[in-house]
């Protein structure tokens, strides 16, 4: 788990106070890097949007990770992940891909694993019955899109990194929920980061 303090000058003290309890902490330079390191936006948003019909018709009566993350859905997830990593690189952060992050934090030794293979075989992500959202207003869309994907897209614009897959998920999520997540979401201005240097 990525961790940083606010202000970042307190990073070492915060990490030292927690490392005995949380053994898998990964020090980040600052809270912005922590936000970019959050893989929920990759794991939740595309899967919920691309399973909209199934969520609507079953009211979430399927296994979100094991059944919802098909190979084709995972291709979109991996594209969203690559775009997020490229935007982070444009700001000066180096992030591990989501499947490496999952392997590391769930301590998987399985060689050659990809995102689809991991999430559809991980006991932490399924096998206990239906766990999908009951509707598309669940936090996987209503929180993760405006507060996660929208800022990443805006940072991409600021550093000249295109985010077509991320933008597509934002657009589809907005249509599905009759919302304007770009308007409602976190902006560089609302975070006090507009016009700043990011590198």
Catalytic residues: 44, 144
- Rounded to 5°, the CA angle 141-145-151 comes to 170
User: Which residues lie closer than 8 Å to 34 by C-beta, 6 or more apart?
Assistant: 2, 3, 4, 28
Which residues, in sequence order, are bridge partners of residue 27? Answer: 3
**E strand spans, the chain:** 2-3, 26-27
Query: In the chain, what is the greatest distance between 2 CA atoms, to the nearest angstrom?
Result: 50
Kindly compute the dihedral angle of the four CA atoms of residues 153, 36, 121, 139, in this order, to the nearest 10 degrees.
-70
User: Is 105 within 8 Å of 9 (Cβ atoms)?
Assistant: no
């Amino acid at each position: 788990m990525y961790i940083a303090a606010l202000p970042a000058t307190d990073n070492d003290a915060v990490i030292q106070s927690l490392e005995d309890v949380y053994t898998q902490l990964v020090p980040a330079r600052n809270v912005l890097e922590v936000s970019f390191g959050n893989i929920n936006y990759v794991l939740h948003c595309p899967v919920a949007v691309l399973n909209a019909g199934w969520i609507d018709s079953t009211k979430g009566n399927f296994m979100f990770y094991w059944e919802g993350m098909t190979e084709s859905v995972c291709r979109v997830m991996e594209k969203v992940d690559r775009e997020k990593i490229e935007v982070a690189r444009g700001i000066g952060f180096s992030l591990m891909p989501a499947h490496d992050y999952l392997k590391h934090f769930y301590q998987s030794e399985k060689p050659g694993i990809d995102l689809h293979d991991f999430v559809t075989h991980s006991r932490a992500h399924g096998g206990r019955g239906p766990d999908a959202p009951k509707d598309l207003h669940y936090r996987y869309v209503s929180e993760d899109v405006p507060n996660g994907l929208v800022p990443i897209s805006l940072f991409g614009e600021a550093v000249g990194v295109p985010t077509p897959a991320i933008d597509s998920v934002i657009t589809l999520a907005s249509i599905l929920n009759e919302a304007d997540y770009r308007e409602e979401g976190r902006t560089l201005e609302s975070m006090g980061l507009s016009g700043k240097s990011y590198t």
